[in-house]
Amino acid sequence: MKTDLFIKNMVCPRCIKVVKSVLEAIPFTVTDIQLGKATVDGKVTEQQLQAVSVALQAEGFLLIDDKKQQLVAAIKNIVVETVHYSELDDMRENFSSLLAGKLQKDYHYLSSLFSEMEGVTIEQYIIQQKIERVKELLDYNELSLSEISYKMGYSSVAHLSAQFKKVTGLTPSQFKQLKTPKRIPLDKL
C-alpha cells in the first residue's frame, strides 16, 4: 500500500530535496516525489500525519488534506513547473489543454475552482508566473528582450513589454535599471 501526501509551497527542485529529507526522518520510505506531492510506502497513521505536518511547517511547507485545495495546489505546481522549468517556446498545447489533460478534469471546472479558492483566474496566475520568470531572466542579463520574449512563448516583444508593464508598472528596461530588482518568491504568488 502507498499513501499520497499533498504538500503546499513546493516550488523548486530544492523543495523536493527538503521534503524528501523531512519524510525520511519521520521515517518513511519515499517512493515518488514531485512538486506538491510525495508518495510513501505504507499506511500513514494520524500520529504520523501530525509529525509530518509539524516537520513540514518548520520548513515552510503545509500538508494539504482538503481535496479542492489539493487540486488547486496541483494546478499551481503544473504552472510553476511549466513556466520555470520547461521551454515555453516548445510548448505544443495551451495551458487549458495541459491542465485538463494532466489532472483529468474539465478545464472549466478547474478554472472555476481556482478562481473561487485563489481570488484570481488561472490565466492571471500564469501571467504572474511568466512575469516573475521574465524578471529572473532580465536579472541574469544573458538574453536580449527578444530572446526572452521567444523563450517565454510571447507572440512579440511588444506583447511581453505591455504585459510586463501592466503587471509591474515598469517597462522591462526600467526594471533592468533598478538597483534592487523587485522579484516575488514563487511560493508567495
Looking up residue 175, the CATH number of its domain turns out to be 1.10.10.60
Domain that holds residue 133: 125-188
Q: Which residues of the chain fall below pLDDT 50?
A: none
Residues 124-135 have pLDDT tens digits of 999 999 999 999
Residues 69-83 have pLDDT tens digits of 999 999 999 999 999
Is 35 in the same domain as 77? no
For the entire predicted model, the pTM comes to 0.79
**Tally of domains within the chain:** 3
Is 133 in the same domain as 96? no
By C-alpha distance, which of 154, 162, 96, 86 is closest to 125?
A: 96
Rounded distance between C-alpha atoms, residue 133 and residue 137, angstroms: 6
User: Between the CA atoms of 58, 16, 183 and 96, what dihedral angle is there, to the nearest 10 degrees?
Assistant: -120
